Structure 1
Amino acid sequence: MPVKILIADDHPLFRAAMCHALSTMADTALVEASTFPETLSCLEEDDAIELVFLDLTMPGNEGLHGLSSIQAQFPDVLVVIVTAQESASLVQKALALGASGFIPKSASIETIVEAVEQVLDGETWAPSNLQQEQFVDEIDDFPSKLRQLTPHQLKVLRMVSDGLLNKQIAYELAISESTVKQHVSAVLKKLGVINRTKAGIAFKNAMQV
């Protein structure tokens, strides 16, 4: 069975370049998406997709929100971040939030193939020049706590970070206010914070690129 890979990027030329790079590998089937909602639809409709190349700045994706959403809804799907932004701190955040790899858009075809092979072998991949010494020691434990949230809890936390009240969140998600309160309570407990303000600030900091 070929490995099905989703290339999620809003630039047609970059998608074409990725398709060209991946076509040099045996047994791969490629799917493309140009917006984040389209990316989620592809994943919902096709459970054979094993790997997603996710652009951080495509329409509908803000910072690392897309990565955290995919991790919550599709925990078995591997996600590799592709971006023109190259910083060690961003690599740290992405890998801490569950990304399997981080590939700069300046990478060569050979580098992309090497990264994909390594990720499919169950390892993480990032350019050596963007990796920091004592990498693991410097990662905050908040991203790992964030990965414990359910998809609904993650949506509620995102709205809390945007300053929405329980009543507004209930309306947006078409659920009762008491259900929102239960979600908020569960979020605070899992994240180990004392109130929604601290939860919102920590979430925004984790999502920033």
Structure 2
Amino acid sequence: MSVPVLIADDHPLFRAAMVQAISTQLGPDIYQADDFEQARQVLRQTPRIELVFLDLNMPGADGLAGIAGLVTEFPDVQVVVVSAQEDPQVIHRSKTMGITGFIPKSTPLADITRAVECILQGHDWYPANLPDSELSDEASQFTQRLTLLTPHQYKVLSMLANGLLNKQIAFELSISESTVKQHVSAVLKKLHLNNRTQAGVLFNQLLGKRSAG
């Protein structure tokens, strides 16, 4: 049975290796993208895609922000991270966002094939001997609640975390300040937070970025 898949990675040789590793199980219905925006466009234009293999460091992905963005915009698509990063905290942060698996790029192709088989059987797949999570309860709850945001709400949160004022967000998104305020209120309610500063700080901490300002 063929499963429509997207491989999103900016290295053509690695994409070719992934095609080799997964084509036997998934069939020939494989799409490719070499930057994050192209990946989003492919997903929008091909809603039947069921599974995405995503490189955290591809152009435009902004690391973990890419995962959160895809999960909020395409909640029915399974996301498997394939990354050169092997930091346990990065893996755990990714995991709390609801991804299906995390495959380090150092994984041999034969093991990648087995990981894909595991995922197709309905199981998650993460590196063996992954240390226990060191994320605080607050961080874990925050990442889980991020997936409750709509795409517009997530975009407003990311701009808020970058230090933009309501009028700047309104200008960038071509919406009214009143609509921005409604989005901010909804974001804070869903994240169980009291103010936009707290939201921005937690968002930037999650993504390993310094707070704006």
Give the alignment of 1:32-181 within 5 angstroms. Answer: 32-129=32-129, 131-133=130-132, 140-181=140-181
In structure 1, the residue corresponding to 2:50 is in which secondary structure?
Answer: strand
8 Å CA contact 2:78–2:100 kept in 1: the answer is yes
Q: Distance in 1 between matches of 2:136 and 2:185?
A: 29
8 Å CA contact 1:22–1:28 kept in 2: the answer is no
Unaligned runs of 5+ in 2: none
TM-score, scaled to structure 1: 0.94
Q: Which deviates the most, 148-157 or 116-125?
A: 116-125
8 Å CA contact 2:89–2:133 kept in 1: the answer is no
- The structure-2 alpha-carbon separation of the partners of 1:137 and 1:117, relative to structure 1 and needing over 3 Å to count, comes to farther
- The structure-2 alpha-carbon separation of the partners of 1:56 and 1:26, relative to structure 1 and needing over 3 Å to count, comes to closer
Q: Distance in 2 between matches of 1:83 and 1:134?
A: 19
Q: Distance in 2 between matches of 1:201 and 1:19?
A: 39
Q: Which residue of 1 aligns with 2:183?
A: 183
* Number of equivalences: 208
- The structure-2 alpha-carbon separation of the partners of 1:104 and 1:194, relative to structure 1 and needing over 3 Å to count, comes to same
Kindly state the Cα deviation for residue 90 of structure 1 after the two structures are TM-superposed: 1.1
Kindly state the Cα deviation for residue 150 of structure 1 after the two structures are TM-superposed: 0.7
TM-score, scaled to structure 2: 0.92
Question: Percentage identity across aligned positions?
Answer: 50
Over residues 124-170 of structure 1, what are the superposed CA-to-partner deviations in whole Å (9 max), with x where a residue is unaligned?
111113x2247899672111111111110000000000000000000
Q: Which residue of 2 aligns with 1:4?
A: 4
Amino acid at match of 1:124: D
Q: Distance in 2 between matches of 1:144 and 1:204?
A: 15
In structure 2, the residue corresponding to 1:199 is in which secondary structure?
Answer: helix
Q: Distance in 1 between matches of 2:23 and 2:16?
A: 10
8 Å CA contact 1:80–1:103 kept in 2: the answer is yes
Unaligned runs of 5+ in 1: none
Q: Distance in 2 between matches of 1:28 and 1:36?
A: 22
- The structure-2 alpha-carbon separation of the partners of 1:26 and 1:147, relative to structure 1 and needing over 3 Å to count, comes to closer
Q: Distance in 2 between matches of 1:38 and 1:57?
A: 14
Q: Distance in 2 between matches of 1:93 and 1:134?
A: 9
Amino acid at match of 2:131: Q
- The structure-2 alpha-carbon separation of the partners of 1:136 and 1:121, relative to structure 1 and needing over 3 Å to count, comes to farther
Q: Distance in 2 between matches of 1:170 and 1:12?
A: 38
- The structure-2 alpha-carbon separation of the partners of 1:103 and 1:134, relative to structure 1 and needing over 3 Å to count, comes to closer
Q: Distance in 1 between matches of 2:67 and 2:176?
A: 28
In structure 1, the residue corresponding to 2:29 is in which secondary structure?
Answer: strand
- The structure-2 alpha-carbon separation of the partners of 1:170 and 1:26, relative to structure 1 and needing over 3 Å to count, comes to closer
8 Å CA contact 2:3–2:26 kept in 1: the answer is no
Q: Distance in 1 between matches of 2:26 and 2:72?
A: 30
Q: Which residue of 2 aligns with 1:13?
A: 13
Q: Distance in 1 between matches of 2:141 and 2:167?
A: 31
